[in-house]
Chains A and B, each alone.
Chain A
Amino acid sequence: MADLTSQGTAGKTPDTTDAHEAALLAYARKKKLSPFLYLPVAWLVFVILLAVFAPWLGLWPADEIDWVALRVPPGANEAHPLGTDHLGRDMLSRLIYGARVSLTVGFAAPAIGVGFGMVLGMAAGYWRGWIDEVVGIAIDSWLAIPGLVILLLFALVFGGSLFMVCFSLGLLFIPTAARITRAATMKFANREFVLAARALGASDLRILVREILPNVIWPLIAFILIDIPIAIVIEGALSFLGLSVKAPTPSWGGIIAEGREYLETAPWISLIPTAVMFTTVLSFNLVGDAIRRRMADVRESQV
């Protein structure tokens, strides 16, 4: 409990705004975006723009070898601002083209997982009964197979196309997405507004799409925000192991792996992509947390 009498405000009428009161008020108003968040947001916008417009930036082709500039350190050659790798390929270009792979996987994999998981979860949570049981058993069986095994199998069988990497990673996100959707669907399926729609003779499809979907989508967006950085990290690990996109195509994890052997002579080959990946994942986490907190506040204020 906040007591103002001890703060030397005696003598003021109760209606004067006090320092503490003003501080609390400022806190309540502030809840928007802290200036600390502008940095990660700016970084993400920067990386995404570079990745999207990579072909028009006048960069070196990512796989072109500059024979006169092997292992140039950053800043030493004007033609290669971030230096070159052991094969003389432009680091800046490889990083930016690598970002395309990392970001594609980061967005596509959770989207695929949430897409399938949402359909399964809504069906299970709305109709319950045998559908719920079948979905439950399928999810439990799916979870019983280690994720790494699934990723390895896909990589071996289908090779390293970007689509297959996204798809196999997406499969890993299905069970959690389905569970979150199922729980949210069950919560809303018994609300009076759903009952009112049924009393009006609405079809199940209409109820699912019009009444329930707009409500379960929010926890799923929160879930996607958590999964984007996770997907980027896993893709990096797969590239490092050589299980992601095939060799000439650059990816952050792949560049790090290639630079491994030159850590003593050309450390920047590994360290620069590592730093970039770290910053990007951290930014996604910070921004995701902020958005989720904001969503929770909005939902609270609407109850």
Chain B
Amino acid sequence: MKDIVEDAFLSLEDLTVEYRLTRRTRVHAVSGLTVHVKKGETLGLVGESGCGKSSAARAVMQLPRPTSGRVVLDGVDLASLSHSDLQKARRRFQMVFQDPIASLNPRQTVREILSAPLEIAREKETGEARDQRIIDMLDRVGLNGEQALNRRPHEFSGGQCQRISIARALILRPELLVCDEAVSALDVSVQAQTLNLLEDLKLEFGLTMLFISHDLAVVKHVSDRVAVMYLGMLCELADAETIYRKPAHPYTRNLIAAVPEPDPDAEPNTLELVPGELPSPINPPSGCRFRTRCPLATDRCASEVPIAQELAPGHTVACHHPMS
């Protein structure tokens, strides 16, 4: 744990994101999230809808800036930067979004889409050099750059649009790439291509990645470590093998059990969730937020917020009754 904190390239420290709904009510999207990511590492962030994973991603991107807490990238707290310094720093961290179609401006050509990062960063180069740079980038993400240049997004399939998005995010050679459900909208065969591509590009560009997804199997394929979130709070954090083999948090266990295995002979998993609904993030349960659906909940879970504790080196869990 200690060494991860020290060589962290990206640190989210006590990150809190709240949205005001009315004068009195606010949505507690992320509450005190602390994780550290080493350089060149991929951290998977999983959870179901409403768990705050996307809000956390946006907070890392400072879109909008978090309500409180720090986002430290390579020693610099992004949340404390002035507007103009932040705009300059943005080329170091980029994002790929879920919807491949909505990610690209339908009225622009691929050339315009990929020129935007270079223009905004005021890269000094001739038009030809810029075109060549765009073509090279498109070739790298597996598209025919020359052919793609003058086309518009609707002429491409969803998977190809996502490749264009990835090219736009990487053309300034960022160090951190945030993927927010980047493969969730794609068909299985295209999803596999895109995941392989992301793995290749990560090595080629030396990227540090924050990979957000609701799909545990996808997350496992790309992540070195995995963090599980529920209703705005971190439940469990461990390396990718451990968290799937020995999940300690009851929520993690259920989440893994719910994934349908593509094997007709696999033992059907039964869920141990208490029937009910996801509580509202406007008024989250006291103590442990998972307690309303937790089969192991006790009085203590209602009164006391569980603090993240280290079960084994690198395996932390925020639960009063962790399973081993």
Find out whether the CB atom of A199 lies under 8 angstroms from the CB atom of B90: yes
Find out whether the CB atom of B97 lies under 8 angstroms from the CB atom of A196: yes
Find out whether the CB atom of A202 lies under 8 angstroms from the CB atom of B97: no
Count of B residues near A, CB < 8 Å? Answer: 31
* Nearest 7 CB-CB pairings of A with B: A214-B107, A201-B87, A201-B90, A192-B97, A302-B154, A192-B103, A193-B105
**Chain A contact surface mostly:** helix
Find out whether the CB atom of A198 lies under 8 angstroms from the CB atom of B116: no
Binary CB contact string for chain A from 200 to 235 against chain B (1 if under 8 A, 0 otherwise): 111100100011001100000000000000000000
8 A-B Cβ contacts within 8 A?
A192-B97, A193-B105, A196-B95, A206-B120, A210-B108, A210-B116, A215-B106, A302-B154
**Is A195 an interface position by the 8 A CB rule?**
yes
**Is A150 an interface position by the 8 A CB rule?**
no
Chain B residues near A62 (CB-CB < 8 A) = none
Find out whether the CB atom of A193 lies under 8 angstroms from the CB atom of B103: yes
Chain B residues near A206 (CB-CB < 8 A) = 120
Chain A residues near B94 (CB-CB < 8 A) = 199-200
Q: In the complex the two chains form, what is the Cα distance from A302 to B112 in whole Å?
A: 18
Which residue of B is nearest A298, CB measured? B154
**Is A139 an interface position by the 8 A CB rule?**
no
Find out whether the CB atom of A200 lies under 8 angstroms from the CB atom of B154: no
Q: In the complex the two chains form, what is the Cα distance from A301 to B108 in whole Å?
A: 16
Chain A residues near B121 (CB-CB < 8 A) = 200-201
With contacts A195-B97, A199-B61 taken as known, whether A214 is within 8 angstroms of B120 at the C-beta atoms is: no
Chain B interface (Cβ within 8 Å of chain A)?
Answer: 61, 63, 86-88, 90-91, 94-95, 97-99, 101-108, 112, 116-117, 120-121, 152, 154, 165, 168-169, 172
Q: In the complex the two chains form, what is the Cα distance from A198 to B88 in whole Å?
A: 12
Find out whether the CB atom of B154 lies under 8 angstroms from the CB atom of A202: no
User: Chain B nearest CB: distance from A144 CB in Å?
Assistant: 29
Chain B residues near A203 (CB-CB < 8 A) = 87
User: Chain A nearest CB: distance from B20 CB in Å?
Assistant: 13
Chain A interface (Cβ within 8 Å of chain B)?
Answer: 191-193, 195-203, 206, 210-211, 214-215, 301-303
Find out whether the CB atom of A202 lies under 8 angstroms from the CB atom of B120: yes
Find out whether the CB atom of B97 lies under 8 angstroms from the CB atom of A201: no
Q: In the complex the two chains form, what is the Cα distance from A198 to B117 in whole Å?
A: 10
Chain B residues near A303 (CB-CB < 8 A) = 101, 154
User: Chain B nearest CB: distance from A105 CB in Å?
Assistant: 31
Which among B87, B101, B107 is the interface contact of A215 at CB below 8 angstroms?
B107
